[in-house]
Amino acid sequence: MNGKILITGCAGFIGYHLCKQLFSNHDLVIGIDNLNNYYDVKLKNDRLKNLKISAKSLGCKFIFKKEKLENKNSIRAIFKLYNPDVVINLAAQAGVSYSLENPESYISSNILGFLTILEACKEYSVKNLIYASSSSVYGGNIKKPFSELDTTNHPISIYAATKISNELMAHTYSHLYNIPCIGLRFFTVYGPWGRPDMAPMIFANSILKNRPINVFNNGNMQRDFTYINDVVEVLLKLISLPALPNKGFDRINPDNSSSWAPHRIFNVGNSHPINLLDFINILEEEIGIKAIKNFQNNRPGDVQNTFADTNRIEKWINYKPNTSLKHGIKNFVLWYKKYYGF
């Protein structure tokens, strides 16, 4: 057995793809997801159905638990029963725009839920905790590319604020209880089986139905799109490379990406930001239909440009996300048309 892995958010976009890869090399994978209705529950259930089929075909024992992270007694019971070696926390209330409408759900899921995970990792001596942060933490920063050394004191959405809080909470538990923790700031992950609340799915749906797409900030936005397979490869490599203390940590001039405790922060991006209109052009080419563009002002909470400095993760795991946007979008459109029957 190559260790027991527990994945929260296993029926989510990243969790689904990660679990499928883990089945090949692990005898036991425990998945937790509350299957909430923030977006299409059918998509989550279809991911889950595929996971069960895939695990069975590969001879991996996949145990699924439908549970909210906030239900601490239930989560503690799962940890007690399976005693995982590695925990990968991908479950969260996602989405910048929705955090303006329903901030309470972000505090409950992302703060209280993450606290439950940290407490369970402490109690059951987890050897490696990897958790999802977000590029949104860079907030009002205008220096590019975004570096883990940059401060993150100026979030512009509740979602971002909860992710910054997660990083601070993880560092505290790493310091107090010697839990190796790695926080990953994901940059606009896309690909097959993606999230319907994100631009690729929203745009593809509207273009295929000849409906207008809303182009915010009049198209003057850039995103560092990161293909799902690259993200999963990073996660797989980190399973065997837990955080270590930075022995040269200087408390007078602190490195924001590391610590005297076994806690690290890494950007996970493609390091090639793409203008939103160029992204739409590539999507149009793959779909074969021109988009009807409805240009609008920027939305509150949206970061105008994202650009990841990935030098630190490249050095840590000897890997650089590098899937081209054209290749990634081609795979995404092929899946989208097949899944939704276009």
pLDDT per residue over 208-222, tens digit each? 999 999 998 888 889
Residue pair 148/267 in contact (Cβ under 8 Å)? The answer is yes
Q: Residue 234: what pLDDT?
A: 98
182 vs 301, more confident: 182
Query: Of 22-26, 162-166, 199-203, which range is least confident?
Result: 22-26
Residue 130, domain member (yes or no): yes
pTM value is: 0.96
80 has pLDDT over 70: yes
Considering 138, 159, 173, 227, which one is annotated as catalytic?
Answer: 159
pLDDT per residue over 251-290, tens digit each? 999 999 999 999 999 999 999 999 999 999 999 999 999 9
What's the burial of 253, exposed, middle or buried (CB within 10 Å: 0-12/13-18/19+)?
exposed
pLDDT per residue over 317-327, tens digit each? 999 998 999 99
pLDDT per residue over 206-259, tens digit each? 999 999 999 988 888 899 999 999 999 999 999 999 999 999 999 999 999 999
Rg from Cα positions in the chain: 19
Look up the domain containing 146 and give its range: 4-191+226-272+307-322
Residue 100, domain member (yes or no): yes
Residue 28, domain member (yes or no): yes
10 φ/ψ angles, rounded to the nearest 5 degrees: -70, -25
1 has pLDDT over 50: no
Give the total number of structural domains in the chain: 1
94 φ/ψ angles, rounded to the nearest 5 degrees: -100, 170
Q: What percent of the chain has pLDDT over 90?
A: 88
Question: How many other CB atoms are found less than 10 A from the CB of residue 168?
Answer: 10
Residue 291, domain member (yes or no): no
- 3-state SS of 267-329? EECCCCCEEHHHHHHHHHHHHCCCCEEEECCCCCCCCCECCECCHHHHHHHCCCCCCCHHHHH
Residue 233, domain member (yes or no): yes
Report helix, strand or coil for 215: strand
Instruction: Please state the rounded mean pLDDT for residues 101-123.
Output: 96
Residues in the chain, overall count: 342
> Is 16 one of the catalytic residues?
no
CA quadruple 151, 154, 158, 161: dihedral sign: positive
CATH number of the domain to which 268 belongs: 3.40.50.720
Where residue 142 falls among pLDDT bands split at 50, 70, 90?
confident
171 φ/ψ angles, rounded to the nearest 5 degrees: -60, -40
